């Protein structure tokens, strides 16, 4: 089965939700659905990012399904005295092929900075995994007209010094902070045009893809995916139920 060139990425991070049993059930159902609907695998690049506790189990269920499994975070060092952290080799050992880096919740609550995102991107690439670098601006920056500069600075800082080959393995997700989560409001297509044009202008041809995330749901996914500059969707709540995620995959498959 060949995946068509330019197929959109459509993935979900479960954040701090789902037990092991719930994660397994979702993953098993997803693998079965993709086996039954091969056109989804041909036309979409699905990825699922469980909590660390479910990573190995979910990766085992999804083996051979065409779904990329990712970790929500990983440390920049390979091993050592970093209580509570897990490294890129450890998440790879558990089955992750992708590492999410720099989500706004980690920047806000866990001290993630441009420097730590750069170190994590480098570690992820060094071990042959795909970094998914998340960037986004708060509402005050948007209101002051500074969205593009803010996110470009985050991307430049995190990707500084990478070779073109390394850059070509990086996924970027633009996730305006004001659009994320239950207090967020979905961004409109006109609001996304300038930030995406800026990201695509500087990094589009050099990185693997630039995705949109933030209150994506089944009613706005098609118009977001129809934007020329949007290479895929990164989804939270609307994809936490398997049926919701499958609906998004079907929308993306067209
Ligand atoms: C997110 O937190 O990255 C996200 C996209 O969440 P939601 O879709 O729930 O807004």
pLDDT tens-place string over residues 192-245? 999 999 999 999 999 999 999 999 999 999 999 999 999 999 999 999 999 999
Length of the chain: 254
Q: Percent of the chain scored above 70 by pLDDT?
A: 100
**Cβ-contact 229, 151 below 8 angstroms:** no
> What tokens appear for 84 in the block?
């509570």
Is the pLDDT at 86 greater than 80? The verdict is: yes
Is the pLDDT at 1 greater than 80? The verdict is: no
**CA–CA distance, 206 with 119 (Å, rounded to integer):** 19
> What tokens appear for 179 in the block?
């659009």
pLDDT of residue 3: 76
Protein residue closest via CA to atom 8 of ligand 1: 236
Kindly give the distance from the C-alpha atom of residue 211 to the centroid of ligand 1, in angstroms, as a whole number. 12
Annotation marks residue 166 as catalytic = no
Kindly give the distance from the C-alpha atom of residue 245 to the centroid of ligand 1, in angstroms, as a whole number. 13
Catalytic residue among 61, 103, 150, 166: 103
Is the pLDDT at 252 greater than 70? The verdict is: yes
Which residues are within 8 A (CB) of 52 and not within 5 positions of it... i.e. 6 or more apart? 71, 72, 86, 91, 94
Annotation marks residue 175 as catalytic = yes
Kindly give the distance from the C-alpha atom of residue 176 to the centroid of ligand 1, in angstroms, as a whole number. 10
For residues 64-84, give the mean pLDDT: 98
Helices (H), 67-177: 88-93, 104-109, 114-126, 139-143, 147-159, 164-167
Q: Is the CB of 176 under 6 A from ligand 1?
A: no
pLDDT of residue 4: 83
pLDDT tens-place string over residues 156-189? 999 999 999 999 999 999 999 999 999 999 999 9
Q: Is the CB of 175 under 6 A from ligand 1?
A: yes
Which residues are within 8 A (CB) of 85 and not within 5 positions of it... i.e. 6 or more apart? 75
Protein residue closest via CA to atom 7 of ligand 1: 236
Residue with token string 């730590």:
116
pLDDT, the chain, mean: 97
**CA–CA distance, 79 with 164 (Å, rounded to integer):** 27
pLDDT of residue 150: 98
The CATH classification of domain 9-253, taken from the options 3.90.580.10, 3.20.20.70, 3.30.9.10, 3.30.930.10 = 3.20.20.70
> What tokens appear for 121 in the block?
């991107």
**CA–CA distance, 110 with 104 (Å, rounded to integer):** 10
Which residues are within 8 A (CB) of 51 and not within 5 positions of it... i.e. 6 or more apart? 14, 15, 16, 17, 18, 23, 72
Q: Is the CB of 155 under 6 A from ligand 1?
A: no
pLDDT of residue 71: 99
Angle at 188 between CA 228 and CA 240, to 5 degrees: 90
pLDDT of residue 41: 92
For residues 14-30, give the mean pLDDT: 98
**CA–CA distance, 2 with 14 (Å, rounded to integer):** 28
């Amino acid at each position: 089965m060949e995946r068509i060139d330019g197929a959109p990425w459509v993935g979900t991070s479960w954040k701090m939700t789902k037990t092991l049993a719930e994660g397994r059930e979702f993953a098993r159902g997803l693998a079965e659905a993709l086996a039954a609907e091969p056109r989804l695998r041909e036309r979409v690049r699905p990825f699922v990012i469980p909590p660390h506790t479910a990573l190995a189990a979910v990766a085992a269920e999804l083996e051979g399904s065409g779904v990329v499994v990712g970790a929500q975070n990983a440390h920049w060092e390979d091993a050592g005295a970093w209580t509570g952290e897990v490294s890129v080799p450890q998440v790879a050992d558990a089955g992750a092929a992708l590492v999410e880096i720099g989500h706004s919740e980690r920047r806000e609550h866990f001290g993630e900075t441009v420097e730590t995102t750069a170190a994590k991107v480098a570690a992820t690439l060094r071990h042959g995994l795909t970094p998914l670098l998340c960037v986004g601006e708060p509402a005050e920056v948007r209101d002051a007209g500074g969205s593009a500069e803010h996110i470009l600075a985050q991307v430049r800082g995190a990707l500084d010094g990478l070779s073109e080959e390394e850059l070509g393995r990086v996924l970027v997700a633009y996730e305006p902070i004001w659009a994320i989560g239950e207090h967020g409001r979905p961004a409109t297509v006109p609001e996304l045009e300038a930030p995406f044009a800026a990201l695509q202008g500087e990094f589009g041809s050099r990185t693997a893809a630039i995705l949109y995330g933030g209150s994506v749901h089944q009613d706005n996914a098609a118009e977001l995916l129809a934007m020329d500059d949007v290479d895929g969707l990164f989804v939270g709540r609307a994809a936490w139920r398997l049926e919701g995620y499958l609906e998004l995959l079907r929308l993306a498959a067209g």
